[in-house]
C-alpha cells in the first residue's frame, strides 16, 4: 500500500516549509500529493528527494476550471490548465493527476453537462497517454457533478471507450465526499480495479447544511466522523485494492495542530484496522 499525505495539511499557499515535509517523513509517510494551492520548486524537489519522499500524485486546479461547462471557452481554458498539470506531474515523477469533473450541477442540464465532461476528459486522456501519467476523476459531494456512481461511471466509460487502447483513466475515490452522499460502498463495488487512488478523510455525513459550498466536507481525521471504516477496509479487501491512500486532511478542522502528532494519529488508525483484519 502506498501511503501519502496531501499538502493541503500545510498552512498557507504556494510555499511549503522543509520542516513540514520532515514531519511527514518522521511520521512514516513516503509520498505526497501536491494540492492545487502549492508549488514544488526545483529547490524544494531536491530537498524532497534528499529526505526520501516522492511526489506520488498531483491534484489539478478546481477553482478556475470546469470540465463539464457548456461554454467552449471555459472548457478550452480548463483543458490547458489540466495539460499544464500533466506536464508538471511528468517533471516531478508523479504517477497520477487527480481531477474534479466539474462544479455545482443544475439538474435540468445534467445530461448535457455529463456529455461535455466526458468529451473534456477523453481529449485529456488521449493527451495523457503520451506522458504515461494516469488521470483519476474524483467523485464529488452531493449537488456537484458526478456526485453518484451512475454519473461517474457514464463519464469514465465514455473516456475509456473513446480514448484508445492505452487509456490510463480511472477514478479517485474520496471517502469524505461519498460519506456525505451515503454511497461510499457503492463506489467501491462499482469501480473496483478502476480506483487508481483514494482520498481518505472523515466527516459527519449529511447534516442538512447548505450543499452549495460543501460545508459538510470537513476533511477531519478518519475515526473522528461517521465513516464506517471497518466495513470500508473489508470492502477494499474484497477488491484487492493495492493503490494509493492519500490522507487529505485540513489541519484547521482537526483537534491537533502539530503535523507530526496528526500523522502519528493516522498511523495508529491504520495499525488498529490492520490488527482487525
Q: Render pLDDT for 125-166 as a digit per residue (tens, 0 to 9).
A: 999 988 889 999 999 999 999 999 999 999 999 999 999 888
267 with 25: CB under 8 angstroms?
no
Instruction: Specify the number of domains making up the chain.
Output: 1
pLDDT confidence bin for 185, thresholds 50/70/90? very high
Question: Cα 110 to the chain's mean position, in Å?
Answer: 23
Could you tell me which of 205, 146, 206, 203 has the C-alpha nearest to residue 172?
146
- Residue 29 is predicted with a pLDDT of 97
Q: Which three cell numbers stand for residue 242?
A: 493495492
Percent of the chain with pLDDT over 70: 99
Q: What is the average pLDDT value for the chain, to the nearest integer? A: 95
Q: Render pLDDT for 63-82 as a digit per residue (tens, 0 to 9).
A: 999 999 999 999 999 999 99
pLDDT confidence bin for 14, thresholds 50/70/90? low
CATH code where residue 8 lies: 3.20.20.150
- Residue 262 is predicted with a pLDDT of 96
What's the domain range around 208?
Answer: 2-276
pTM across the whole model = 0.97
* Secondary structure (DSSP) of 159-209: HHHHS-TT--EEEEEEHHHHHHHT-HHHHHHHHGGGEEEEEE-B-----S-
Amino acid at each position: 500500500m502506498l501511503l501519502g499525505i496531501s499538502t493541503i495539511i500545510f498552512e498557507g499557499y504556494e510555499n511549503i516549509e522543509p520542516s513540514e515535509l520532515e514531519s511527514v517523513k518522521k511520521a512514516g509517510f513516503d509520498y505526497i500529493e501536491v494540492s492545487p494551492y502549492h508549488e514544488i520548486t526545483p529547490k524544494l524537489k531536491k530537498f524532497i528527494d534528499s529526505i526520501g519522499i516522492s511526489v506520488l500524485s498531483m491534484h489539478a486546479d478546481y477553482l478556475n476550471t470546469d470540465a463539464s461547462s457548456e461554454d467552449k471557452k471555459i472548457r478550452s481554458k480548463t483543458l490547458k490548465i489540466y495539460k499544464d498539470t500533466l506536464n508538471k506531474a511528468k517533471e516531478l515523477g508523479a504517477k497520477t493527476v487527480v481531477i474534479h469533473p466539474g462544479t455545482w450541477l443544475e439538474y435540468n442540464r445534467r445530461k448535457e453537462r455529463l456529455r461535455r465532461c466526458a468529451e473534456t476528459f477523453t481529449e485529456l486522456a488521449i493527451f495523457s497517454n503520451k506522458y504515461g501519467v494516469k488521470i483519476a476523476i474524483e467523485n464529488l459531494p452531493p449537488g456537484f457533478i458526478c456526485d453518484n456512481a451512475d454519473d461517474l461511471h457514464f463519464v469514465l466509460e465514455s473516456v475509456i471507450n473513446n480514448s484508445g487502447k492505452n487509456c490510463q483513466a480511472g477514478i479517485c475515490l474520496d471517502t469524505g465526499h461519498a460519506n456525505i452522499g451515503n454511497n461510499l460502498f457503492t463506489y467501491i463495488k462499482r469501480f473496483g480495479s478502476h480506483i487508481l487512488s483514494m482520498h481518505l478523510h472523515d466527516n459527519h455525513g449529511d447534516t442538512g447544511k447548505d450543499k452549495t459550498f460543501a460545508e459538510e466536507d470537513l476533511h477531519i481525521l478518519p475515526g473522528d466522523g461517521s465513516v464506517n471504516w471497518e466495513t470500508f477496509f473489508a470492502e477494499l479487501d474484497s477488491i484487492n485494492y493495492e493503490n494509493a491512500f492519500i490522507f487529505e486532511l485540513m489541519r484547521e478542522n482537526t483537534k491537533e495542530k502539530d503535523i507530526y502528532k496528526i500523522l502519528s494519529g493516522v498511523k495508529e488508525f491504520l495499525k488498529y484496522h490492520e490488527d482487525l483484519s
